[in-house]
């Protein structure tokens, strides 16, 4: 643990900004989402000197707004994208091996209906093919259910037209935490990373990119980063960077919007995760998580601001209707929504295809000046996307580097678990420690978020116990995230590090002011700065709840 503690302190923003200003790098990555983080780890572990900058917080965009599943792409069988199913299926197993505390098996119920969707035979064949392509372990392979078994599995289902069902394997995760841990692991291998650092323009020599002009959005200071190669992994912002580079031609992005709603578990008490179809042919997930159930997602064309993406009343009503049609006893209304999130999929445009028909395959663009951009793809396939980019970079610019991709065997920081049983054993030990102070109910959350790093949080917690141990635990988490994870503002903490805004709003509201006070002390905020941060956080809470 001492060795980890030393290495984890690499995420020091001030020293990293200083390093970015002074060094020349082999590779500069723009974008701190899952793809950029994956490229940083792959390149750094092969020996390249790597820099990564993100204009917002790490995982700010698509990488914190997915359905939070590392899935095998069952829906892509409908589009006959067998290669994509095979790749993301095998990658799912790899990511589970690298971080079993963060990528957790989740059995999914798929109801079958008399009046819509596929029949039992086609579903059985499709799931069998899915199991084979995705390399699902025998004990997790699909199991077909009778009508009575399906309704027993989920009594809330509308019984009239249910004719059967199936159970198949998925994996749930926290996409933002996955990205943060990947960033930290890349830093452990020498990558120099910084959030809130916006690329405003590129540096050129002989009409080739040799770096970028960057603004530190915290200090409002401009500086330059010199690099032999520049890669843009900015998701929905890829075309913006291509425009700055004067290379937006040929293929372009097609942005689609995905929305998820968070409902109190008491109002929507599904017994397990379920994947059901709706009137327009889309498939919707309902996934229980702690004290809530979240539902999503939509898939609609998006033309608005890519910096401000929010749930609309129309989005919310669509998902509410979908739930009420399949689970009529639930009878949800807009007033039952506790929180929500909305994100964009940076897909590759194809003429004549609707949002739901567009391929989820990734694609690499290269400009005449040398800018390499990657777009498309899925959370699950981040590692192979990164490998393709780094292979290209090495082939074109660093042919002396002979090291192949190693990320299949690099566990994330905080994850030295060999299997799921070791995760369970560690969870039990954490629960026993927390039981003494009345917080055993928080053990699963901590272990699934932080893995072995929970020890550091508990060590800090036990030094500062008071009357309100729930608050002291949140403050211990905050200490950890400020010290080890480059948290800059309350939204970083409440949204992307802990997920409290989405998954535990009652706790967020109970600790709101005390956490802001901790921020104020840590960063020596003025009263004006304190009020500004408080107002911005209050607005974030309002936007996920009021439509």
What residue spans define the domains of the chain?
2-62+176-252+360-409, 102-172+254-357, 420-543
pLDDT one-digit tens code per residue, 277-323: 887 778 899 999 989 999 988 989 999 999 999 999 999 999 999 99
The per-residue pLDDT for 261 is 97
The per-residue pLDDT for 240 is 95
The per-residue pLDDT for 7 is 47
User: Which residues are 164's β-sheet partners?
Assistant: 112
Burial (0-12, 13-18, 19+ Cβ within 10 Å), 45: buried
For residue 4, what is the enclosing H or E element?
Answer: helix 2-8
User: Which residues are 374's β-sheet partners?
Assistant: 364
For residues 210 and 200, what is the distance between their CA atoms, to the nearest angstrom? 14
Please, which residues have CB within 8 angstroms of residue 429's CB and are 6 or more apart in sequence? none
Among candidate residues 531, 494, 497, 532, the one with its CA nearest the CA of residue 512: 494
Residue with tokens 């792959």: 42
Tokens of 319: 């998902």
Tokens of 311: 């749930």
The per-residue pLDDT for 176 is 97
The per-residue pLDDT for 139 is 82
Residue 429, sorted as left (phi over 0), alpha (psi -120 to 50) or beta, turns out to be alpha
The DSSP code sequence of 259-299 is EEEEEETTTS--SS-EEEE-TTS-EEEEEEETTEEEEE---
Do 288 and 272 contact (CB within 8 A), yes or no? yes
For residues 434 and 432, what is the distance between their CA atoms, to the nearest angstrom? 5
Tokens of 51: 């820099």
Tokens of 231: 């890669």
Superfamily of domain 2-62+176-252+360-409: FAD/NAD(P)-binding domain (3.50.50.60)
Beta strand pairing call for 24-30 and 221-232: parallel
What CATH topology corresponds to 420-543?
A: Helicase, Ruva Protein; domain 3 (1.10.8)
How many CB atoms are located within 10 Å of the residue 258 CB? 22
Do 199 and 216 contact (CB within 8 A), yes or no? no
Q: What is the CATH number of domain 102-172+254-357?
A: 3.30.9.10
For residues 209 and 101, what is the distance between their CA atoms, to the nearest angstrom? 40
Do 307 and 141 contact (CB within 8 A), yes or no? no
Per-residue pLDDT of the chain (547 residues; tens, 9 = 90+): 444 443 444 588 999 999 999 999 999 999 999 999 999 999 999 999 999 999 999 999 999 999 999 876 676 666 677 777 777 778 888 999 999 999 998 899 999 887 665 667 777 887 888 778 777 788 888 899 999 999 999 999 988 888 899 998 889 999 999 999 999 999 999 999 999 999 999 999 999 999 999 999 999 999 999 999 999 999 999 999 999 999 988 888 899 999 999 999 999 999 999 998 887 778 899 999 989 999 988 989 999 999 999 999 999 999 999 999 999 999 999 999 999 999 999 988 766 666 665 566 788 999 999 999 999 888 888 999 999 999 999 999 998 888 899 999 999 998 989 999 999 999 999 999 999 999 999 999 999 999 999 999 999 998 877 777 899 999 999 999 999 999 999 999 999 999 999 999 999 999 999 999 999 999 999 999 999 999 999 999 999 988 7
């Amino acid at each position: 643990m001492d060795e980890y503690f030393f290495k984890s302190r690499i995420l020091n923003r001030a020293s990293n900004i200083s390093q970015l200003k002074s060094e020349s790098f082999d590779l500069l990555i723009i974008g701190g989402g899952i793809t950029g983080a994956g490229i940083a780890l792959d390149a750094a572990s092969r020996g390249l000197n790597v820099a990564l900058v993100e204009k917002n917080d790490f995982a700010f965009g698509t990488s914190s707004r997915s359905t939070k599943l590392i899935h095998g792409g069952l829906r892509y069988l409908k589009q006959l994208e067998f290669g994509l199913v095979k790749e993301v299926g095998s990658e799912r197993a790899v990511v589970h091996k690298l971080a079993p505390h963060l990528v957790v098996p989740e059995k999914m119920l798929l109801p079958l209906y008399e009046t819509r969707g596929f029949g039992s035979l086609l579903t059985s064949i499709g799931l069998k093919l899915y199991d084979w392509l995705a390399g699902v372990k025998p004990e997790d392979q699909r199991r077909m259910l009778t009508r009575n078994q399906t309704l027993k599995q989920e009594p809330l289902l509308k019984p009239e037209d249910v004719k059967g069902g199936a159970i198949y394997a998925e994996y749930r995760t926290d996409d933002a935490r996955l990205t943060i841990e990947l960033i930290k692991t890349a830093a452990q291998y020498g990558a120099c990373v910084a959030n809130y650092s916006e690329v405003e323009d590129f540096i050129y020599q002989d009409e080739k990119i040799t770096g970028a002009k960057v603004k530190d959005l915290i200090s409002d200071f401009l500086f330059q980063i010199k690099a032999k190669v520049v890669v843009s992994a900015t998701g929905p912002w890829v075309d913006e960077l291509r425009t700055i580079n004067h290379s937006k031609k040929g293929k372009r992005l097609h942005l689609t919007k995905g929305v998820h709603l968070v409902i109190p578990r008491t109002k929507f008490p599904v017994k397990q995760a379920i994947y059901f179809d709706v009137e327009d042919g889309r498939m919707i997930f309902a996934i229980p998580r702690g004290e809530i159930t979240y539902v999503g997602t939509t898939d609609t064309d998006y033309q608005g601001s890519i910096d401000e993406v929010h749930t609309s009343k129309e989005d919310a009503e669509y998902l509410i209707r979908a739930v009420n049609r399949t689970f009529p006893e639930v009878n949800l209304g807009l007033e039952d929504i506790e929180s929500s999130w909305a994100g964009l999929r940076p897909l590759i445009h194809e003429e004549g295809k609707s949002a739901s028909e567009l391929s989820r395959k990734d694609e690499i663009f290269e400009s005449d000046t040398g800018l390499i951009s990657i777009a498309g793809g899925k959370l699950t396939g981040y590692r192979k996307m990164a490998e393709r980019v780094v292979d290209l970079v090495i082939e074109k610019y660093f042919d002396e580097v002979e090291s192949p991709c190693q990320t299949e065997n690099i566990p994330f920081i905080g994850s030295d678990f060999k299997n799921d049983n070791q995760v369970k054993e560690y969870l039990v030990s954490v629960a026993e420690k927390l039981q003494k102070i009345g917080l055993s109910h928080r053990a699963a959350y901590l272990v699934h978020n932080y893995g072995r790093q929970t020890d550091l949080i508990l060590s800090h917690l036990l030094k500062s116990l008071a009357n309100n141990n729930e608050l002291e635990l949140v403050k211990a988490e905050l200490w950890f995230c400020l010290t080890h994870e480059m948290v800059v503002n309350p939204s970083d903490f409440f949204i992307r590090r802990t997920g409290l805004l989405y998954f535990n709003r009652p706790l967020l509201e109970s600790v709101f002011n005390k956490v802001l006070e901790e921020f104020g002390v840590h960063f020596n905020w003025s009263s004006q700065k304190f009020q500004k941060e408080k107002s911005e956080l209050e607005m974030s809470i309002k936007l996920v709840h009021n439509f």
